[in-house]
Structure 1
Amino acid sequence: MSINFKNIALLDEIETANRLIRLGFGELQNIDYANNFYFLPFQLLSQGFERLMKSYICLGYYNRQGDYPNLNYIKGLGHDLEALINKILVDFFDDHGRYYLIGDRNFLENDAELKELLYILSEFGKMARYHNFDIITANQKPSVNPRELWEQFEHKILSLNGFEKFNDRDLENEVFGDISRTIIIIFEKFVSGLARQFNFGTLGDHAKQFSGHLFDFAMLYPDKLGQTDYRVNTTRFKETPKKVHKRTAIDELERKLNPKFRSKLIKKNDFDGNWPFYAEEVIVECRNKHWCVITIEGYDYALNGAAKGKYKLESPHDAGMAMLGVSIGDFISIALAL
């Protein structure tokens, strides 16, 4: 088979890996009180990570040998994600003495949380997807329960602040965003560490031809981690109607003239704290000392549960206007203080 056909097949494999990973991140962000279907993100991420690393190994092999490996070589790699990343680091990863690539290597080699998460996904990918059938059939050597291990990891990383949010009706849903953001940052650092090898030539000039689908990940440096809303790629997010209100001239008049409506413009540059919104400025408003709404780019969203029930509005997080894992609690407090 000609090298061109092989290149096309590998390009398709990398594109598939990229899409699986992004969908997996999005499905992690979709987990909440109403959706605890962990199987889907496990399936997407275990497949996506395996395909990405095997594609990496193919290009690393090509860089060393001048040709792609044969089928037996690829089959011999197995499905263990930890083993795949170890092979990459030992045989193919090159930091070229660049400080950010040295940092990538250090993270990929030593981060304990990454190792734990890859172990869970590896076990799921190898046999744990059939855990329930092991129980049904009384298998003498049952597989591990990946969801149980994952929930143990979630509880471990959940901060004291997170536990306090469970007791606050306005912030309880943020707990899921806190957890998913922490996990996705770990995975973003993992994928970006691999992607930079494609983009910056350390995997060889041939690999640069395949870097386009991974460019966004390669550009994920520390100041950009945890800021992407991957839910926009998922069917659930696309098909869920967003309950928002486009403001009218009457709304603006009431904001100015109604003594029971108090509002305040807040700009990102003037805010002392973690800015949760994608927009550079917002207007918070408290109505009748009780209902808190926020205006973002001409649309109203519910800040607190009272406003969500009263006006049937989406929260900024649910509508994709605020970064998951970054709290809007300070803005509720500001609105109520008005």
Structure 2
Amino acid sequence: MMAEDDPARFLCLLDELKTSRELLKSGFGHLQEIDMGNTFYHLPHQLLASGFERLMKCYIAVVHKGRDGAYPDRRAMQSLGHDLEGLLETIRTKYYGGTQRPLLQQDLAFIKTDSVLNDCVRILSLFGKMGRYYNLDVVAGAHHEPMDPKDEWEALESRVEDPTPYHGDQERLYRDYYPRVNSALIAKMERLVRAIAMQFTLGGHADAGGEVRRLSVVYQKFRNIRDDQFGTVDYRRSVEILRGNADQWIRRSYHEIAASGWPSLAVTKAEFGDEWPFRDDRVTVECRDGLFCIVNIGGYDFALNGAARSRFGLPFAHDAGVAVLGKSVGPFIEVARGLSASRCQPAHPPPF
């Protein structure tokens, strides 16, 4: 039987679930901004820890309602605590359904065994419990051993990808290492979010009142992420701002590029044969004065290297969101430099 205040509780749960989604998206976006010039991990950690806690508690609450006919009471909600590891274990062992489906079986195994995901959850959990006020705990002479989440996260980054090959090359460190590491970590967390989102629709949970079904729309976009899209979604607010100024970008047609006299080459995803970093399937690479490497994507010019950015004020392809974070444009810099060395003739016009 439905309690009189159930509609109000549902609306609060809906609002909380939407809040969790926005916190996670913002947390992923701020994590994508981390590089050698921005090591402010506290903000993405704060956002992600809060987002995951709210998501997992909302999910547990609505499944509990379907099973028992009532939402968890205050004592039950408080007993869940702030331990993300504990919350995830509760979901995995008590609230995870639909395991007859191969995809959900695979996600359950991933949640249980993936060491990188488990480290992400562990660090965010420790951040929520002990790391938020690490500096103040040290100042106050805390009796427990303070945990610095920044150090823990940087150690995790090094386990995901060894930074040693990037030392001594600041441009590659900025362009390749941090985006690659952040992409790998976000991919793991996105899969966890998708796994929980899948439970709203495929978990086979009791749902006499339809609450589980109605809440499922909140995480629809996460639920629809394909495996090959993990780590490729751009959540950065800075990209939205930069795209808002697209009318100030330099626009050139293919024929204008060919007529410029600088060596250029059209490259397609189909013929490239390696990891393709751009969101368009066709780009034109250009090199000016043997130094300034430029790529034209969708009719707009973007910088491939720092020299082109400084000289012409072009945005980097990754910063504009037209290249996928974690996928290097380094090979295209080499293509551009090779054009200059060989003075390759401008590419043939496209057949369209």
> Scaled by the length of structure 1, what TM-score is found?
0.92
Matched with 1:43 is 46
Matched with 2:311 is 310
Matched, 1:111 2:114: yes
Say if 1:199 and 1:215, in contact at 8 Å, map to a contact too. no
Matched with 2:346 is none
For 2:216, the aligned partner's letter is S
| Displacement of 1:127 | 2.2
- Gaps of at least 5 residues in structure 2 are 340-352
Aligned with 2:195 (options 193, 196, 211): 193
| Displacement of 1:55 | 0.6
Aligned with 1:225 (options 205, 211, 230): 230
- How many residues align? The count is 330
Pairwise CA RMSD = 1.9
Matched, 1:298 2:299: yes
Distance, in Å, in 1 between the alignment partners of 2:177 and 2:268 is 25
| Displacement of 1:218 | 1.0
| Displacement of 1:324 | 0.6
Matched with 2:70 is 67
Matched with 1:287 is 288
Matched with 2:141 is 138
Matched with 2:156 is 153
Matched with 1:216 is 221
- Identity over aligned pairs, percent: 35
For 2:119, the aligned partner's letter is E
| Displacement of 1:108 | 1.0
| Secondary structure in 1 matching 2:267 | strand
Matched with 2:258 is 256
Aligned with 2:95 (options 87, 92, 103): 92
Distance, in Å, in 2 between the alignment partners of 1:217 and 1:238 is 19
Say if 1:131 and 1:142, in contact at 8 Å, map to a contact too. no
Say if 2:61 and 2:72, in contact at 8 Å, map to a contact too. yes
Aligned with 1:246 (options 236, 246, 250): 250
| Displacement of 1:246 | 2.1
For 2:190, the aligned partner's letter is E
| Displacement of 1:78 | 0.6
Distance, in Å, in 1 between the alignment partners of 2:336 and 2:252 is 21
| Displacement of 1:8 | 0.8
For 1:198, the aligned partner's letter is F
Matched, 1:15 2:15: no
> Scaled by the length of structure 2, what TM-score is found?
0.88
**1:175-227 Cα shifts (integer Å, max 9, x gaps):** 11011101001101111111100122523443111011101111123122111
In structure 2, the CA distance between the partners of 1:258 and 1:321, relative to structure 1 (3 Å rule), is closer
Say if 2:138 and 2:146, in contact at 8 Å, map to a contact too. no
In structure 2, the CA distance between the partners of 1:252 and 1:168, relative to structure 1 (3 Å rule), is farther
| Displacement of 1:305 | 2.0
Distance, in Å, in 2 between the alignment partners of 1:110 and 1:169 is 35
